[in-house]
């Protein structure tokens, strides 16, 4: 029957599949509705390079106030790149040719004792061509 009436799957493809993807990004990645929607829309056009042995669950454990050494211990690796005088640590970058990617950044600032501490953990979906 399904072979003859393949078009019955059309509602699933048009509505259920995007809904499942949206739910996945919301629950698995912890995205807000805006980032989950962007990730769903760019599903096949996105590409993300993560640091070697990157773990989403380890990144989720990072909290404001942690010092830089604790970030290294939790993540178990160095970031891809360090920017802005060592205050932005990037754990994910866009693959070459990708139109969007999953952004993973730890923003640090130095305390009174000059120890780098986590100020913000950025976890979102980045579309570089989009206007804010």
Q: What is the CATH classification number for the domain harbouring 67?
A: 3.30.1450
Summarize the confidence of residues 102-117 as an average pLDDT: 94
Indicate the burial class of 129 (C-beta count within 10 angstroms; 0-12, 13-18, 19 or more).
exposed
pLDDT of residue 119: 96
Q: How far apart are CA 87 and CA 109, in angstroms?
A: 6
If pLDDT is split at 50, 70 and 90, which confidence band does 90 have? very high
Total tally of structural domains belonging to the chain: 2
Question: Is 24 in the same domain as 86?
Answer: no
Share of the chain above pLDDT 70, in %: 95
pLDDT of residue 129: 62
Show the domain range for 28.
Answer: 8-41
Tens digits of per-residue pLDDT, 1-17? Answer: 557 777 777 877 778 88
Q: How far apart are CA 34 and CA 123, in angstroms?
A: 12
- CA distance to 2, 4, 38, 66, per residue, from 107 (Å): 52, 55, 23, 11
Is 2 a domain residue?
no
The helix/strand/coil state of 21 is: helix
């Amino acid at each position: 029957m399904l072979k003859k009436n393949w078009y019955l799957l059309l509602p699933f493809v048009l509505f259920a599949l995007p809904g499942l993807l949206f739910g996945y990004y919301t629950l698995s990645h912890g995205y807000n509705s805006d980032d989950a929607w962007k990730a769903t829309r760019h599903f096949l056009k996105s590409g993300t390079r993560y640091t070697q042995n990157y773990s989403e669950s380890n990144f989720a454990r990072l909290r404001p106030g942690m010092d830089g050494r604790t970030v290294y211990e939790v993540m178990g690796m160095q970031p891809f790149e360090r920017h802005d005088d060592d205050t932005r640590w990037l754990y994910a970058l866009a693959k070459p040719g990708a139109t969007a990617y999953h952004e993973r950044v730890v923003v640090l600032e130095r305390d009174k004792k000059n120890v780098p501490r986590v100020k913000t953990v950025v976890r979102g979906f980045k579309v570089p061509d989009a206007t804010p």
